[in-house]
Amino acid sequence: MKISCSTKVLLRVSLIYFFCAGSTSGYTSEVLKNVQVTVDTSASQLNCTSENNTTESHKSFLCPSLQAALQLTGSTGRCCYHYFISFRHTPSSGGFVHFITEPIVTSASVTLNSGGSESDNVTISCHIAQEILTKRTLDLKYILYFNSSLYVNFRILKIEQVEITNSTFSYFKEAVFDIHNCYNVTISESFFKSNRGTGITKRSYRGNTGSLSITYNHVETGSIPGNPMITIKSCRFINNSAAATTSLKSSDQVFARGILTGRGGAMAVFARENVFNISVLITDCEFKENYARSYAGGAYILFNGYGHHVALVQQCYFKSNHAGEGGGGILVLGTKGSRESPHIFQVKNCTFHDNKATLGAALYYSINLDGGRSNRAHIADCVFTNNSLLSEHDGFGVAIAVDIADNFEEKESFPVNTISNCLIANNTAGIVNARVVLSGRISFINNTAVDGAAMYLLLFSQIQLSDNVHILFKGNKGRYGASIFVGAFPLVEVFRQIPYNPQCFLALESSKTLPPYRWAEKNVTIRFEGNSAWFGAAVYTTSFATCSWIGFQFIESFDEILFSDWPIFNVSSDNENSAFKDRYNQENSFVTESVQLNVNETALSGWPGQKLTLSITAIDEFSKPTGSLIRFAFVPNNNQV
C-alpha cells in the first residue's frame, strides 16, 4: 500500500501538529536502519495547499498537519496512526466549523514494514507535541476521514459539539468520524458528544450516522485482506444524533437506493458488498441519550451475506437512547449467511435502561435468511429495565425484538437464538417472532403491555427450554396473556398425528421425543407469580392444539385440558384474571381464543318498548369463558312489523 500526501489517510486527521525532539532530520536513528522510505514524486500537492505552514522548521514537510508522520509521506508499507486529540467547538455556519486546539502531551507513532516487505514491523515514535495552530476554519468533510487504510488506531480521542451541515459524502460519509474500507480499526478511551448528522445533503438517505461511521462498501474482490477487525473499547457516546431534514424536495434524491435515513445515532458499522468475515468488538462502552430518526439510537450494525461476520457487544451500558423506528439501544440487520458459518451476534453483561423505539426499544435483531440459513443471536447475563415503546398500540418487543424473515418450509429451518441469565423488568412489551432458547435463570418482572407484557410470540415463534432452566414471570400486566401471548397460525390436523410436535410454542431443546409430562426430569421450571390480565395471566394463545402430543409413552391422544397440568408449570394463587368471577382460580391463567359461542336464545321476538336480553359467551378450548370480538348486524324482516 502506498501512502502519499494526496491520499486522504494523511489529510487533516488532526489539528494538532507534532514534531520529534531534535532537527527535522532526526529520524536517522537506529530504528530506521532497515526501513525503506520512498517519495512519490507524482503525488499532487493540491490537497495540502490550504494548510499553510506557520512553523519555519517544518517547511520541508509536504502536509504539516501530520508532522509526526510526515517523514513517511509517500512511503511504502503498512501505516498505523495513534493520536491523542482534543477539540473544542465554537458556533459555526455555512458548512464550516471553528476549532480551537488545546496544548496536550501527545504521542504519535507510525509503523512501517521493514524493507517495504509485509513483515518485521518497526516503529517510529514521537513523544513531544507542540501546538502550532490555535484557530482555524476548515471544511468538516475532510476531517477524520480514512480511506482504504490497513490500520487505523485512535486512543483518547475527544470530539465534542461537532455539527455537520451541507457536506456531501459518498459511502455514508455523514458522520463526524468516518472510516471507510479500512482493515484493522481500533478506537479506545474516546469520547463522542453532541455530534449531529443532519442529513441535509443531496443524498439524505445514504446513512446519516450521528457520530462514528465505519463502512465497507463497493469493494473489489481482494482489495481488503480477509478478516477485518473493528474494536471499540472504553468509549463514551453521549447525546449524538442521526437525524434527517424535516423538509424534502424531489430534487434531493432522498430515496436513492431505498435506504432509510438517520441510522446509528452514536455509531454504525455498515458491511456491504463483497466484504468477508468482519469481526466487531464493542466493549466497556457507554451509550447515553443518543437519537436516530429511523433505526438504532445507540449502535447500528449491518452485515451482508458474505462470509462469516461476528459482532460481540459486552459490558456496555445503554441508557435513554431513542430511535424513531427500531432498536433504541442496538439494532442488528443481517442477510443470508450460511449453515456452516452463520453470522453471529452476541450481547453479554450489558445493561439497557430507559430506551425507546417503535420496535425493540432496547435491542432489535432482524435477519432475512433467504431459505433458512442459520444466522444467530445470543444474549446472556444482561439487564433490561424501564424500556418502552413509542406507542403501545404500534410496535412490539420493547426489551428485545428478534424478527426473522424467511421462506422456510419447516420449523427446523429456523436459526436458534439464545437468551440466558437475564433480568427483564419494568418494560412495556416482550420478545417476538423468533425461535429463542432460554437457559439459566430468566426473570420477567413488572412488565406491562396491551398483550404479552413479558413475551409476545408471533407467527411460528417458539420458546425452547434448555435443561436446568428456571423462568420466573412476576407482576406482569396486560389484557391478554400478561406473561406470554402467542399469536400463532392454526395448523393443519396432521400435526396432531406425529410423535412430537415442533410447532408448539414450547419445546425442550435437548430432546424431541421426551413428552412434556417428563420435562421436569430435566430440571425445567416455569413459575407465574402475581401477574394480572383480563384473560390468561400466565398464557393466552390462539390454540393449545398446536401443542398436541402423541408420545409412545403417552396414553391416548393429547387433550388440551392437560396443558396447564404439565409439571414444569408452577402457578401461584395470586395471579389475577379479572374477566372471571373466580379470578384467582389458577386454571383460568391458561386461556385460548374462542372456539365457540354460547347464546341463550337463537331468536328474539317482542313488541315495541319491550326489554330483551341476549346473553353471548365466548368459550375457549378449555370450555371456559374467554374474550372475543363479536360483530352484530341488524337484518330487517320485511314480512313482520
Hey, how many other C-beta atoms are within 10 angstroms of the C-beta on 349? 15
State the pLDDT at residue 234: 87
pLDDT value at 318 more than 80: yes
Backbone angles phi, psi at 464, to 5 degrees: -100, 135
pLDDT value at 85 more than 70: no
Alpha helices in 425-568 (DSSP H): none
Q: Is residue 42 part of a domain?
A: yes
Mean pLDDT for the stretch of residues 473-501: 70
State the pLDDT at residue 166: 29
> Which span out of 65-69, 70-74, 231-235 was modeled with the highest average pLDDT?
231-235
pLDDT value at 222 more than 70: no
Q: What is the b/e burial string over 218-230, where b = at least 16 CB atoms within 10 angstroms of the residue's CB?
A: ebeeeebeeebeb
Between 260 and 276, the more confident residue is: 276
Between 140 and 262, the more confident residue is: 262
Between 28 and 448, the more confident residue is: 448
Residue 328 banded pLDDT, cuts 50, 70, 90:
confident
State the pLDDT at residue 4: 25
Q: Is residue 607 part of a domain?
A: no
Please give the Cα distance from 251 to 472 (Å, whole number). Answer: 55
Please give the Cα distance from 601 to 614 (Å, whole number). Answer: 7
State the pLDDT at residue 492: 46
Q: Is residue 342 part of a domain?
A: no
Residue 512 banded pLDDT, cuts 50, 70, 90:
confident
Q: Which grid cell is 609?
A: 318498548
Between 425 and 106, the more confident residue is: 425
Listed as own residue / partner, the contacts of 512-517 with beta carbons closer than 8 Å and 24 or more positions apart are: 513/551, 514/551, 515/549, 515/551, 515/553, 515/554, 516/547, 516/549, 516/566, 516/568, 517/554, 517/566, 517/567
Q: What percent of the chain has pLDDT over 90?
A: 14
Mean pLDDT for the stretch of residues 299-303: 87
Mean pLDDT for the stretch of residues 297-304: 86
Hey, how many other C-beta atoms are within 10 angstroms of the C-beta on 619? 16
Strands 96-101 and 85-93: antiparallel
State the pLDDT at residue 97: 34
Least confident range from 142-156, 309-323, 483-497, 598-612: namely: 142-156
CB 215 within 8 A of CB 273: no
Mean pLDDT for the stretch of residues 611-628: 83
* Residue 611 DSSP class: -
Residue 394 banded pLDDT, cuts 50, 70, 90:
low
State the pLDDT at residue 630: 77
Hey, how many other C-beta atoms are within 10 angstroms of the C-beta on 202? 11
Q: Which grid cell is 425?
A: 423488568
CB 424 within 8 A of CB 474: no
Residue 311 banded pLDDT, cuts 50, 70, 90:
very high
Least confident range from 11-15, 102-106, 204-208, 360-364: namely: 11-15
Please give the Cα distance from 431 to 457 (Å, whole number). Answer: 7
Residue 225 banded pLDDT, cuts 50, 70, 90:
low
State the pLDDT at residue 365: 82
State the pLDDT at residue 153: 44
Of 267, 247, 21, 17, the residue nearest 126 (C-alpha): 21
Cβ-in-10-Å burial (0-12, 13-18, 19+) of 201 comes to buried
Q: Is residue 19 part of a domain?
A: yes
Between the CA of residue 349 and those of 80, 314, 436, what are the distances in Å? 31, 6, 18
Residue 404 banded pLDDT, cuts 50, 70, 90:
low
Q: In total, how many domains does the chain have?
A: 1
Strands 291-292 and 241-242: parallel
> Which span out of 80-84, 265-269, 520-524 was modeled with the highest average pLDDT?
520-524
Q: Is residue 121 part of a domain?
A: yes
Residue 593 banded pLDDT, cuts 50, 70, 90:
confident
* Residue 254 DSSP class: T
pLDDT value at 46 more than 50: no
State the pLDDT at residue 502: 60
Q: Is residue 159 part of a domain?
A: no
Q: Is residue 120 part of a domain?
A: yes
Q: What is the pLDDT of residues 408-426, one digit of tens each?
A: 434 444 456 788 888 888 8
Strands 96-101 and 351-353: unpaired
Q: What range does the domain containing 127 cover?
A: 1-143
Q: What is the pLDDT of residues 177-200, one digit of tens each?
A: 667 777 777 777 777 777 776 544
DSSP result, 58-103:
GTT-S-GGGTTTGGGTT-BS-------EEEEEEEEETTEEEEEE--
DSSP result, 450-471:
SB-SSEEEETT-EEEEPTT-EE
pLDDT value at 628 more than 60: yes
Mean pLDDT for the stretch of residues 206-228: 66
Q: Is residue 611 part of a domain?
A: no
Of 315, 330, 206, 316, the residue nearest 267 (C-alpha): 330
Please give the Cα distance from 588 to 539 (Å, whole number). Answer: 9
Q: Which grid cell is 456?
A: 409476545
CA angle 565, 569, 389 (to 5 degrees): 125
Q: Chain-wide mean pLDDT for the chain?
A: 64
Q: What is the pLDDT of residues 521-580, one digit of tens each?
A: 999 999 999 999 999 999 998 888 777 654 444 444 445 556 777 889 999 999 999 988
Between the CA of residue 89 and those of 158, 201, 289, what are the distances in Å? 11, 22, 20
